[in-house]
Amino acid sequence: MARVGRREEILAIACRLFSQKGYHGTTIRDISEACGILSGSLYAHINTKEDLLFEITDRGAEAFLGSLEPIVKSGKTASQKLREAVKAHMHVIEANLEAATVFFHEWKALTGDRYEQIRKKRDSYERLWAAILEEGIKSGEFKQLDEKLARLLVLSVANWTYQWYRPGGKLKADEVADRFVEMILIGFQA
């Protein structure tokens, strides 16, 4: 029989496996065996393998969007917003490293409408960052940067985090974010 909370357990296991071996590199049997059930039994909980990928990536997208929206809407300065945005982004990755890895690395394996849904949410997320940078450039708080390139720089740093950050290392996500923002704001040059 279907256990209560079993679906969440399956999602967590699929998330771990997708993050380690990729979506196409993970089989239904990999997931079911890690759950301690047979492959056919998985279909009491899901309809297709892609359901798992979509739910993982969609939750990821919502986590990033939900953490950034209030920051953009706040009345703080662009520098403060930038700092908090990077922190929020790092926090989402820290709290859901496997899901973040799947979100960044595997979302293109989605097909059709689901691919489009996630693509749109990624676009929305980028627009929120654009708003912060545009504000800082317009107000004179930042230099006269090319907004798109400045955004690409910040998002590169933020998005690459899942590739190297491991919870339990020397630095907490919060400290990493602070140091990155400091370097971005004041530059390397002495």
Q: Which stretch binds a second copy (CB under 8 A): 60-68, 84-92, 113-121, 155-163?
A: 155-163
Residues 79, 185 contacting (CB under 8 angstroms): yes
Q: What is the amino acid identity at position 25?
A: G
Task: Pick out residues in 39-58 that bind a second copy (CB under 8 A).
Answer: none
What does the block give as tokens for 107? 């979302």
Could you list the residues that contact DNA (CB under 7 A)?
A: 1-3, 6, 26-30, 35-41, 43-45, 47-50
What does the block give as tokens for 168? 């339990």
- Cα separation, 133 vs 128, whole angstroms: 9
The enclosing H or E element of 185 equals: helix 173-186
29 versus 108: smaller Cβ distance to DNA: 29
45 versus 180: smaller Cβ distance to a second copy: 180
**60 burial level (CB within 10 Å; 0-12, 13-18, 19+):** buried
State which of residues 155, 166, 172, 174 lies at the interface with a second copy (CB under 8 A). 155
Q: How far is the CB of 51 from DNA (least distance, A)?
A: 8
- Contact call for residue 111 and a second copy (CB under 8 A): no
Q: How far is the CB of 51 from a second copy (least distance, A)?
A: 18
What does the block give as tokens for 80? 């403060």
Residues that bind a second copy (CB under 8 A): 22-25, 79, 82, 105, 108-109, 136, 140-143, 145-146, 149-150, 152-153, 155-157, 159-161, 163-164, 171, 176, 179-180, 183-190
